[in-house]
Chains A and B, each alone.
Chain A
Amino acid sequence: AQSVTQLDSHVSVSEGTPVLLRCNYSSSYSPSLFWYVQHPNKGLQLLLKYTSAATLVKGINGFEAEFKKSETSFHLTKPSAHMSDAAEYFCVVSASNSGNTPLVFGKGTRLSVIA
């Protein structure tokens, strides 16, 4: 079984300050992990993915995440927030080698960026 916990439902940061969105996962299999972003009234866009290669993963728009197996975490970070980063972010887990285990979403973290 798999599950994802996003530890904050809402994060608010000032423009130019660092962003940290926290995600913990549980998986019976070797996991694949993803972060997706959803801007208001839009679809879902892939930010980055971990699929058992390098543990530090770089994504689009300056975001990165680090896979820590010992902590079962996959936190998303960005050094400097931009107004355009305001959106909903979803952490997602799946088994890396089994298609029978579908993608499981966290409940999301809404990021607000204050000017």
Chain B
Amino acid sequence: NAGVTQTPKFRVLKTGQSMTLLCAQDMNHEYMYWYRQDPGMGLRLIHYSVGEGTTAKGEVPDGYNVSRLKKQNFLLGLESAAPSQTSVYFCASRALGTEAFFGQGTRLTVV
């Protein structure tokens, strides 16, 4: 099993450009999450999904959009990238009551 796979692993964007980060899981998990990690801040929740076709805002949703058209995929979009969105992004999935499984992260730099 691959577990949770994030693509791409690295990306450099110019301010104002758009991009989509893909998260794919093969564990049939209902719940999926997008976090961003910044020094000294821990992981902060951007958006999450409790099932196919559903999404909800987390702690820091501004500037991001998400979609979960298929159970196994959770997409994170940046419509107009800003330098403040420079971060490491982690996707996670889990079943109810269990631990979360994380992808390896995407390091995004916005210049």
Contacts and interface: CB of A to CB of B under 8 A. Distances in A.
A44 B33 CA distance: 14
B40 to A, nearest CB: 6
A99 B42 contact: no
A43 B92 CA distance: 11
A96 interface: yes
Contacts of A51: 97-98
A100 B50 contact: yes
A7 to B, nearest CB: 14
A43 B99 contact: no
In the complex, which range does the number of interface residues on chain B fall in? Answer: 20 to 34
B55 to A, nearest CB: 12
Interface in B71-91: 90
Given A44-B102, A99-B31, A107 B40 contact: yes
A105 B42 contact: yes
Contacts, number: 51
Interface in B8-34: 30-31, 33
Nearest to B101: A46
Interface residues of A, number: 23
A32 interface: yes
Interface in A44-94: 44, 46, 49, 51, 90, 92
A25 interface: no
Contacts of B102: 43-44
Contact of A96 (B90, B92, B97, B105): B97
Interface of A: 9, 32, 34, 42-44, 46, 49, 51, 90, 92, 96-100, 102-108
Given A9-B40, A44-B43, A103-B92, 11 more contacts: A34-B100, A51-B97, A92-B100, A98-B96, A99-B31, A99-B50, A102-B33, A105-B42, A107-B41, A107-B42, A108-B42
